[in-house]
Amino acid sequence: MEKENNKNNKKKLIMVLVSILVIALVTLISLILIFNSQKEKENLAYTELLNHIENDNVENMEMTVGSTTLKVKLKDRENEEDTEKVIIPNTQAFIELVHDKKEQGKEITLNELPASAITTFVNRFWSVIPTLLMVALFVMLFKMQGLGDKGVVYDGEENKSDVKFEDVAGLEEEKNELVEVVGFLKNPKKFKEMGAKIPRGILLCGKPGTGKTLLAKAVAGEAGVPFIAMSGSEFIEMFAGLGASRVRKLFAKAKKLSPCIIFIDEIDAIGSRRTGGSGAESENNQTLNQLLVEMDGFETDNAVIVLAATNRPEMLDKALLRPGRFDRQITVAPPDIRGREQILKIHAKDKKFAEDIDLADIADDTAGFTGAELSNILNEAAIIATVNDHEAIQRDDLEEAIKKVTVGLQKTSRLISDKDKKLTAYHEAGHAIVSQFLPTVTNVKEISIIPRGVAGGYTMYKSDEDKNYISKTEMEEKLISLLGGRAAERLVLNDISTGASNDIEVATKIARDMITVYGMSETLGPISLVVDTPEELRLFGNNIEDEIGAEIKTLIDTAYVKAQQILNANMEKLHKVAEILLEKETITQEQFEQVFKS
C-alpha cells in the first residue's frame, strides 16, 4: 500500500512540475510577443489610411489573420522599404470596406497572411486557461470529498501480502480451518474438477487486536494471491448510493484479479440488521443489498474468497449468514498463556532484552491480553528502555509498559488537590480492602493514587488464570469489589463522587448480563433475554422489562450493601491503607498484605 502511494505521489509531482513549466514558457512567449507588438508603434491613424485609400495612394496592405495591425505601403513614399503601421479598430468592417472599394473599381490589394504557429498557439492557450482552471478546481473538490481517486476509495486497497502463517502465533485451530482456503486459492482448478465447493465468505469474529486482519493477510500471503482490503465504515460515507457502487467496484476488481482475497474489516458497519428506516439507514440497506447480490453472483470460475471481520457477529443481518454467503464463522479468541508466550516471542525477535527477562513470566502476567496489546507492550517497553538509557529492556521497563498499555500513561505532572487525593485514596483503598475478603477475587498487586489515563487512581489485581467459565459467585464478588470504591467514599467522606462512574458502568453491565445473557436470575429462570425487538421480550410477560430492571437492581444493591459491611468491619485497615497511599502514592502487594498481618 505504501509503495503504491509513493508511486502515485511521484506521478502527481511530475505532472505538477510539467504543468508549471508549460505555463511559465507560454507566459514568457506571450510577454515577448506583447513587447514586440508594443514596439510596432502606430504611425498612421486609421482615418488617414482611409484618406490614402480614397486618394489611391495605397500600393499594398498586409495583415496577419486574427491581428489588428496592418502594414501599409504608400505610393508617395520615396524609400521602397518604408511601411506604415495602422491599428484597425474593427478588422471585419475594414475587410468589407476594402471589398466594397474593389467592387467600386479601386485598385487596392490586401494580403492576408496566415498567423504564425506560435501566435495562434499562445492565443488559443490563453483562451482555454479559464476552462482548465475550472476543471482543475472541480477535480480538486471531488477529490476532497473522496470521489474520483480510484486507487484508494472505489476499489479498496490491493496488496501482495508477505505475512505467512508462521507470523501468526497461537491460533492453531483458526489457521487449520483456513488451510483449505489457501489450498483452493493456490489451485482453484483442482477443487473445481473434483466438484468441491469452497466457502465463499468466511466471517472472522473476535475482539479488536486478536489478529483477524493478520490472519486474513496470512491466508493471502500463504496462497500468494492479491489481498484487497476495505473497511465497512468506508462504505457508508456521504453520498447516497455510493456505498453500493463501491461494493460493486470492489467485487469487479476482485474478479479481474482472481484468484484473490477480499477482506472487509468491520463488516458490522454495513451488515447490521436491516430495519425499515430512512436516510442513512436505507443507504446502508442499499450497500448491504449490493453486498448480498455480489456474494450470490460469483461464477464458479471466480476464485475469490471474501473474509470479513467483526467483533459483534450478533449484530449482523441474518441474510449475510445464509448458505453461499458468510456461512462459515471462525472465532478468533484472545490467546491463552501458551499463545501469549508465542506472540511475545514473535514480537521480541527484533528487540534487546536484559538476561533476567523471561517471556513466559510476562505471558503469565497478561491473562486476557490480545495479540495487539502484547505487541504494543513490547514496543512501549523498548521505547521506555531507550528513554531511560538502558542497555537492554529491563524488568521495570516492561512493568511500566504493561501499566501504560493497561491503565494509560502515568500523569505525574498533573496537579491534584488534596481533597481529590484523599477521595482517590479512600476510593482505591475501598476496592482493595473489600477484595481482600472476597475469595474469588485475585490478590491485589498494586494500588496507586497516581492518575493514569482517565483514571484518577487504580487498583491492580494479580492476573487470573485462563478460564473458560465464570461462576455466579465470582460475578457477584466482582460486583462487590467494583462497588468497594463507592462504598468507601460513602462511609468515610459521607459523600459520593463521579470517580466511581466507570466502576458503576462495568458493574451494571455485569449485572445485566447475569440476568439477560447467562440466565442467572432465580425468579426469571435460565432464559436468554437477549432479543431483537421489545415485542419478542413481551413473550415472557408484559412486565418483563420491569422484572429485569428489578433483578439487576437487586444484584447491585446487594453488592453495594455487602461492600459497605466489609468496610465497616475493617474501618481501621481502610484508614491505614488510605493513609499510606496519601503518603507514598503507591502501595505494593507486600506493603498491602503487611496491613493485614499487623
> Which stretches of the chain bind ligand ADP, using CB under 6 A?
168-171, 206, 208-214, 309, 343, 346, 371-372, 375
From the CB of 216, what's the least distance to Mg ion, in Å?
8
Q: Given the complex with ligand ADP, which of 264 and 563 has the nearer CB atom?
A: 264
Footprint of Mg ion on 385-404 (CB under 5 A): none
Using N-to-C axis directions, what is the helix angle for 472-488 and 544-569, rounded to 10°? 60
Contact pattern from residue 196 through residue 215 relative to Mg ion, giving x for each residue in contact according to CB under 5 A and a dash for the rest:
-----------------x--
Coil/strand/helix, residue 115: coil
Total of residues contacting Mg ion (CB under 5 A) = 1
Contact pattern from residue 324 through residue 363 relative to Zn ion, giving x for each residue in contact according to CB under 5 A and a dash for the rest:
----------------------------------------
Contact between 394 and 355 (Cβ < 8 Å): no
Other C-beta atoms within 10 Å of 345: how many? 13
Q: Given the complex with ligand ADP, which of 213 and 366 has the nearer CB atom?
A: 213
- Which 8-state DSSP code applies to residue 491? I
Residue 428 known to be catalytic = yes
Torsion of CA 462, 465, 469, 471, to 10 degrees: -40
Residue 485 engages Zn ion in binding (rule: CB under 5 A): yes
From the CB of 503, what's the least distance to Zn ion, in Å?
4
Closest C-alpha among 286, 318, 316, 292 to residue 306: 292
From the CB of 217, what's the least distance to ligand ADP, in Å?
8
Residue 570 neighbours by CB under 8 Å, 6+ apart = 433, 437
Contact pattern from residue 212 through residue 231 relative to Mg ion, giving x for each residue in contact according to CB under 5 A and a dash for the rest:
-x------------------
Contact between 202 and 326 (Cβ < 8 Å): yes
Q: What are phi and psi of 85, to 5 degrees?
A: -115, 140
From the CB of 318, what's the least distance to ligand ADP, in Å?
23
**CA 257 from chain center: how many Å?**
25
Q: Candidates 33-41, 217-225, 248-256, 502-510: pick the segment binding Zn ion (CB under 5 A).
A: 502-510
Distance CA 332, CA 424 (A): 38
Active-site residue, selected from the candidate residues 234, 294, 400, 428: 428
Closest C-alpha among 330, 403, 405, 397 to residue 370: 405
Q: Which does 485 bind (CB under 5 to 8 A by kind): ligand ADP, Mg ion, Zn ion, none?
A: Zn ion
Distance CA 190, CA 185 (A): 10
Coil/strand/helix, residue 559: helix
From the CB of 316, what's the least distance to ligand ADP, in Å?
16
Strand order in the sheet with 157-160: 157-160, 226-231, 260-265, 304-310, 201-205, 328-331
Distance CA 180, CA 292 (A): 24
Q: Of 265, 477, 503, 551, which lies in the binding site for Zn ion, with binding defined by CB under 5 A?
A: 503
Q: Given the complex with ligand ADP, which of 212 and 486 has the nearer CB atom?
A: 212
**Residue with grid cell 467483533, as numbered in its chain:** 311
Q: What are phi and psi of 357, to 5 degrees?
A: -90, 125
From the CB of 547, what's the least distance to Zn ion, in Å?
29
Q: Candidates 91-99, 191-199, 477-485, 557-565: pick the segment binding Zn ion (CB under 5 A).
A: 477-485
From the CB of 343, what's the least distance to Mg ion, in Å?
15
Q: Cis before residue 259, ω within 30 degrees of 0?
A: yes
Q: Given the complex with Mg ion, which of 213 and 286 has the nearer CB atom?
A: 213
Single-letter residue type at 12: K
Q: Which does 346 bind (CB under 5 to 8 A by kind): Mg ion, ligand ADP, Zn ion, none?
A: ligand ADP
Q: Given the complex with ligand ADP, which of 63 and 348 has the nearer CB atom?
A: 348
Query: Which residues are near Mg ion by CB under 5 A?
Result: 213
Question: Which amino acids are annotated catalytic?
Answer: 428
